[in-house]
Amino acid sequence: MKFGFRIIVLILFSLILTTQFQSKASAQFFANSDQGYKVPVAENEIKIMSYNVENLFNTVSNEGKRDWTWLPIAHPLKGRCSEISNPFYREACETTDWTDNHLMLKLQQFARALQAQGDLPDIIGLQEVESEDVVAFLSNALGYKYVFVDGPDNRGIDVALMYRERNLQLLHFDSIDVSQRLGRNTRDILRVHFQFRGIEAADVLTILVNHWPSQGGPTANRIVAAQVAQQAIEEGMIFVGDDNYHVIALGDFNVLPLEQPHPVRDFLQSPQWQFSLLDVHQMSDQSNNPMNGVMPVGSYYFARDDAWNRFDKILVSKNLRDGSRMEVLPESYRVVAPTFMTMTYDTGETQAPKRYNFKTLNPVEAGFSDHFPVAVKVRLW
């Protein structure tokens, strides 16, 4: 689906205006501690980010998708909100007036969150995006290329990847089906192969963008996603070949620490698996990262239990920590949580994500996402 020319121009103008405002007002806008989230990127480095942007939907209905919440209130399909069994979600669907202006504000808030972490990331893995058009608008406005594949999720949410060509050359991408093995519709895993500009060796970086089945279902669902991710990584070796193959699996894995078997620890990080991955957040905890003790201990906050969780992960292959041409830098890892992106819950927690308010047109009230972004740098040579 395409928006009209008017909405395209307004979106681009809003994003540019926001970036200019942030640049001019940054000295007043950020608290001193927030400066630590602004990580600069050298010429021989890339920055990689993962961000669940919380229901980034366009304002039109995609056929066969239960996207009725994210429509203008006068849309004829709003009547189907009555088919939603959960009273909370049914009421949200019936009362949310998701217009072009509301979408513009959400895109503007994304630009603010992106600017908060300093130099633009070279790779951004996105979760909870509905359609290619919103990803295209963001990419064009901010100077990115993008990869998007429409998957089978019933609500219509997908994963996507935005990238800058400064140090990267796209080789190949494909979408890995999780639904067939799971037996119900869910998000695909997006697999993207990059080669680095300026490196003579044929090193390849493969990115897997994940959004695993939610905590509304059993651990077994996430184990299926983990097994599919393992297979996708193993197949990538066939495409790339032996020592030149470097892997980063990122995204919203939706896993809790006490799940058994654990979909991440017992599969993607299993020492018995030849491609066993390392968790960058765990490495950061053990590093001299200057933001340890300042940034939140997790990226997602359960207000009911006053508990943090690390749903959002960046997992890397061991050859990104072996001192070779490409090296992940754990001390650069950030759970990006500047003051303006946080809110206070009844529990007294002051660093929790400021969830998005889909019913307002006031940027002060709008919020950002129920997840914080996570980011890290990789040194190339």
Burial of 270 (0-12, 13-18, 19+ CB in 10 A): middle
How many structural domains are present in the chain? 1
Please state, in angstroms and rounded to a whole number, the distance separating the CA atoms of residues 322 and 179: 35
Note down the domain range covering 368.
41-59+120-379
One-letter identity of residue 59: T
CATH of the domain at 356: 3.60.10.10
- Tell me how far apart the terminal alpha carbons of the chain are, to the nearest angstrom: 42
Phi/psi of residue 319, nearest 5 degrees: -75, 0
- For 259, the token pair is 């799940």
Partnered with residue 277 across adjacent β-strands are 317
DSSP string, 35-50: GGG-----TTEEEEEE
- For 132, the token pair is 């290619």
Beta strands in the chain (DSSP E): 45-56, 123-129, 145-148, 158-163, 168-176, 189-196, 204-211, 245-252, 277-279, 300-302, 307-309, 312-317, 327-335, 342-343, 352-353, 374-379
Q: What is the pLDDT along the chain (381 residues), one digit of tens a residue?
A: 444 544 554 455 455 444 444 444 433 434 456 899 999 999 999 999 999 999 999 999 988 899 999 999 999 999 999 999 999 999 999 999 999 999 999 999 999 999 999 999 999 999 999 999 999 999 999 999 999 989 999 999 999 999 999 999 999 999 999 999 999 999 999 999 999 887 666 789 999 999 999 999 999 999 999 999 999 999 987 777 666 899 999 999 999 999 999 999 999 999 999 999 999 999 999 999 999 999 999 999 998 888 999 999 999 999 999 988 899 999 999 999 999 999 987 766 668 999 999 999 999 999 999 999 999 999 987
Please state, in angstroms and rounded to a whole number, the distance separating the CA atoms of residues 279 and 283: 6
Domain contains 313: yes
Domain contains 359: yes
Domain contains 168: yes
Domain contains 368: yes
Domain contains 103: no
Strands 204-211 and 245-252: parallel
Domain contains 91: no
Domain contains 285: yes
Q: Which residue has the tokens 């999780």?
A: 178
Domain contains 8: no
